[in-house]
Structure 1
Amino acid sequence: MNLLFSNDRLGAYPPSLYAATTPTLPPFPQQRGEERADVVVVGGGYTGLSAALHLAEAGFSTMLLEAHRVGFGASGRNGGQLGSGQRLEVDELEKMVGKPGARALWDMAEEAKALTRDLAARSGVAVHDGVAHAYRKPSEIDHSRRMIERLARDYTYDRVESLDREAFRAILPSDAYIAGELDHGAGHLNPLALALGIAKLADQAGAQIRELSHVHAIRHATRAGEKSIVQTAKGRVLCDHVILAGNGYLGHLDMQVAARVMPINNFIVATEPLGARTAEVLRRNIAVHDTKFVVNYWRLSEDNRLIFGGGENVSYRFPKDIAAKVRKPLLQIYPGLADVALTHAWGGTLAITMNRMPCFARPAPNCLSASGYSGHGLALANLAGKLMAQAIAGQAQGFDAMAALPSPPFPGGTMLRWPMLVAGMSWYSLRDRLGA
């Protein structure tokens, strides 16, 4: 099954609130015939767009190939949460790479957040400060307080505020949670507007963007002086370097990466404008996510709609009634919204890894890849693109630091990763329902 075309119409943005309210860019041309570039970037999400922007600004002839429209994939349809840190918390990172390594990864994530805020500012995209983490069990509160202390003491990050039940309910009036924390250094934004803004910056910097240009195959150079050949439906591009930025839509372009990066689907709805009822949902303009394995996450739009994501899926096909699937977890948190209309419902494909850390790799001597952000990619994907651009320019320290992290393949590789995901999702979904 080709996830690029399984759930979406060719060249059409999904029926999201973002696509309905965000002015899109004029279409970019399709790749045709034989073209040449120093670097070909495959994929027009944050990773690819950031790479194309930074390569073009560094003077490289760059061509970005996107099978649909720029910002079509997860980058243009996600929950819009700009989180701090890596996908794993610092105590887990310290076990993985030691305290100095964990501190370096934290600093890199802070750089990713600063880069994303800068790209948003250059694109005229508003970033609203504050992301809350909602807790269901006392043990989660205890762990949170230890992490807040550790971040302030060892990572010079004092932006996270612990909130007891009363303080948390003053922000988020729901009986579903017993307490929480609020990261004042994190934020939320319109993800499609950001993707389109970076695309416009890349275009202005001289990157050649080609839409409706599905990459079917890549023949990597095998000896000095030979060009790599990137094949599309209507032509091909000869280049010196290739960047793979397809994430959950990579398919079989590289089986080494595919064995380590698993696509999964997630679903989001948007309500009608809530008006005065906004106070029933959030009393500050922040984003929220909770501690379930099948995580719930939400925030308010600029016109006070609730944008809510949640609900698991054990098929690569989107369900026929996405709204019904997501309404269930929404009403578990906000039962008073049962009479509120859902005006938009959409799905999307992201990618996870075995250890939930991004997979940075060199699939061929002249090829770089970054993917598998595991739901934490809004900032890290932008940094990944910049790091790959720097590596091509001869400054590979940042890329190599990420590539040195463990990136184990899923047991059974691409053949068995999906059955294992189904089993794992079923188990963790049961734990969520039981409150474990």
Structure 2
Amino acid sequence: MHFHIISILPEYFTSPLSCGLLGKAIDNGIISTSMIYPRDFTHDRHSTVDDRPYGGGPGMVMKVDPLLQAIQSLPQGCTTVLLTPKGKPLSHSTACRLSLHNNIALICGRYEGIDARLEDLAELELISAGDFVLNGGEAAALCLMEAVARFLPGFMGKEESVGEESFSHGLLEYPHYTRPEIFQNKEVPEVLLSGHHGRIERWRRDRSLENTLNNRPELLDKTILSSQDTSFLKSVQRAKPSRNLYLTLLHWPVLNKFGKSGTTSLTNLDIHDIARVSETFGLGGYYICTPLKDQQLLAERLITHWTTGPGSRGNPDRAAALSRIRVASNINEAIKSIEEKTGARPHIVATSARGDGDATYQQVRETLSKRPVLLVLGTGHGLSPDIMDMADNFLRPVRYLSSFNHLSVRSAASIMVDRLIGDYL
């Protein structure tokens, strides 16, 4: 495999390509490299590769002409990669795919960026080393070269090493140990000394699952899990901030279809389905707020039937779900109840299908890790201005880029709760 490195700092690569496995791979002919210097394609006496940006602003921008000429000098069929923050993140699967190519060119940007017209004039694959800022693409190019080269026959020495490493099966790797057996009172796990290959294999799989759950849980969403894997994960599931999240469904004050503030009636489906969501995700509680005495009595009678009455004996799961419900006259009663339970006033987050919101799910997740959050759901045609005014934040709508955003409140509740405290967050 040959890497064509397009960079204005060729000396950046001298040391990394002369040591370690990359250096050995070059010595053994597994990979080869060549440097392409954009200044060689300039036509002025200063070999200028950058200029001031149109529209003003700080810094300089790399010129399109030298880079385009450098790309045109590449051999036919060469895969050309532009290292850029807006590219797709470099991943295990991307590195594996690129390892099948014989020629790869790596364009390393500098300054404030590259003239955008390069992407229109050349066929490029855009790849990012991660969600952070580098001074240029050289460090990212080295990451890509090493990640790709590890898949080449002979690079690792032992081919099985590639298959056992982090991400090779969609999971983080298990912990490793070597001599001495005891170091500062820390012992090597007994199972690794047992010689029992089956037990060792299971231990490593479990530790890999546990590492992934604790450090990169989103990877589990992309990994095929066996029933044994799932059982293990349930047994070690992290303490999550579920108990810090509370829901309240307001039946007053809410808007009617004429935009006037009023009161709505309870709906059986909302009571049951949002209670199921609360139980499934282990929330701190679910408050139904209505000022109408007959509606309060209706709710209490329904809850009693399923939690302590005849319904509880035939459907214990529903009993568990409805036991999370509390009936309140208004939102202030719900807030006071949560404050008495947790010792802290909850952060109030209002929801609506209208508007842009001033808080993302990530921001609310961060709040949940510090204090209780009350997610306020409305009935009718949405929350009244009074409720919106008392809220600390206004959560972005579920489908904020859609022109049709008319989910039932129970459907929206399910989606929002999953986005806030789902298993893989």
Instruction: With the length of structure 2 as denominator, give the TM-score of the two structures.
Output: 0.24
- Bigger relative CO (Cα 8 Å, ≥ 6 apart): 1
Instruction: With the length of structure 1 as denominator, give the TM-score of the two structures.
Output: 0.24
- Tell me which structure has the larger Cα radius of gyration: 2
Q: Which has the higher strand share?
A: 1
